[in-house]
């Protein structure tokens, strides 16, 4: 069993980007600028946005963090997005989800200009991805592909089972794995909460991508020998033995699954760091393509 170490792979990607940003600076060219909007004070969202801003600083990107109260009107939030759309110095825009219930996520995502959609959620980005055209790919699926590429995992001809059908992870992941690429060229089965005999589908898989948000759902008896297992889940579970009062659990029961795997991602330290690295790559691309 080999651990797919997202911390190591993301560090390598960030080091490459750091060198490329230094080269841009040497040539007097524009430095990538990521703007993030954080609505309210959700603890997990604070952590995620903080990690993204930190990554920008490490690489040499410019970053702007706009903090808004959770009672902000939808109209005012859309106005903030439009101001960033019109700011020529801003290359990438992300609005941290989830948003308060009185604001429609879809309306806000659709308001981001496609050329600055570094989260890859805009319908134009999704449409281009589906058609196999160059596109901003959602950061978590993109990060997983970068992780497989970093470890030179050959997925050609494999049966991949993606558990979870969200627009953020499951659906785009199934498209990427089925694409004519390496990693890719898989036969993909997309499973979800209504799938009959989900355990049976998982046992047939050469690759399992678990992205359903249920701690330790994938157990050892659901995985065949030699499988590649990608654990996207990360859930805070109460744990009195921890100083923080909680432990981070993935969607995979690591202790029972890992002995059967050829490759597996840890939680934390697997997919999470790769999501941020992928976002940085999208932001760099937005800058170089639009300037």
Distance CA(111)–CA(95), nearest Å, equals 11
The whole-chain average pLDDT of the chain stands at 96
Taking only the tens place, the pLDDT of each residue in 56-86 is 999 999 999 999 999 999 999 999 999 999 9
Neighbours of 3 (CB within 10 A): 15
- Percentage of the chain exceeding pLDDT 90: 92
Give yes or no for residue 199 having a pLDDT over 90.
yes
CATH number belonging to domain 28-116: 3.40.50.10860
Please state whether the peptide bond connecting residue 268 to the residue before it is cis, i.e. omega within 30 degrees of 0: yes
Any idea what DSSP says for residue 155?
Answer: -
Q: Domain 139-272 classified CATH 3.40.50.720?
A: yes
| Domain layout of the chain by residue ranges | 28-116, 139-272
Give yes or no for residue 185 having a pLDDT over 90.
yes
> Which pLDDT value is given to residue 238?
85
Considering only 36-40, 136-140, 156-160, 244-248, which range has the smallest mean pLDDT? 244-248
19 to 26, 34, 59, 105, 284: CA distances (angstroms)? 11, 18, 8, 35, 12
> Which pLDDT value is given to residue 237?
86
CA torsion through residues 255, 256, 261, 264, sign? negative
Question: Hey, do 28-116 and 139-272 end up sharing a CATH topology, with the first three levels equal?
Answer: yes
> Which pLDDT value is given to residue 42?
84
Catalytically active residues, by annotation: 52, 96, 119
Give yes or no for residue 111 having a pLDDT over 90.
yes
Q: Is 272 left (phi over 0), alpha (psi -120 to 50) or beta?
A: alpha
> Which pLDDT value is given to residue 273?
97
Taking only the tens place, the pLDDT of each residue in 242-285 is 888 888 899 999 999 999 999 999 999 999 999 999 999 999 99
């Amino acid at each position: 069993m080999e651990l797919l170490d997202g911390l190591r792979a993301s560090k390598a990607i960030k080091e490459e980007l750091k060198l490329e940003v230094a080269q841009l600076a040497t040539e007097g060219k524009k430095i990538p600028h990521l703007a993030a909007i954080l609505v309210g004070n959700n603890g997990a969202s604070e952590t995620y946005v903080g990690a993204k801003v930190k990554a920008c600083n490490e690489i040499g990107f410019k970053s702007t963090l706009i903090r808004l109260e959770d009672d902000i009107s939808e109209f005012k939030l859309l106005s903030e997005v439009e101001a960033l759309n019109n700011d020529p110095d801003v290359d990438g825009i992300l609005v941290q989800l989830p948003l308060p219930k009185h604001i429609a996520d879809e309306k806000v995502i659709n308001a981001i200009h496609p050329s600055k959609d570094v989260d890859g959620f805009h319908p134009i980005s999704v449409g281009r991805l589906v058609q196999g055209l160059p596109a901003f790919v959602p950061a978590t699926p993109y990060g997983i592909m970068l992780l497989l590429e970093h470890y030179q995992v050959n997925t050609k001809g494999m049966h991949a089972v993606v558990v979870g059908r969200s627009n953020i992870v499951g659906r785009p992941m199934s498209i990427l794995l089925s694409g004519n690429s390496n990693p890719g060229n898989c036969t993909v089965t997309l499973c979800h909460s209504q799938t009959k005999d989900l355990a049976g589908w998982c046992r047939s898989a050469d690759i399992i991508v678990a992205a359903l948000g249920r701690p330790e759902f994938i157990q050892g008896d659901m995985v065949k020998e030699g499988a590649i297992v990608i654990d996207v889940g990360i859930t805070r579970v109460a744990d009195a033995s921890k100083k923080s009062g909680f432990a981070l659990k993935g969607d995979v029961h690591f202790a029972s699954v890992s002995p059967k795997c050829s490759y597996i991602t840890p939680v934390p330290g697997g997919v999470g760091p790769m999501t941020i690295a992928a976002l940085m790559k999208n932001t760099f691309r937005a800058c170089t393509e639009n300037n």
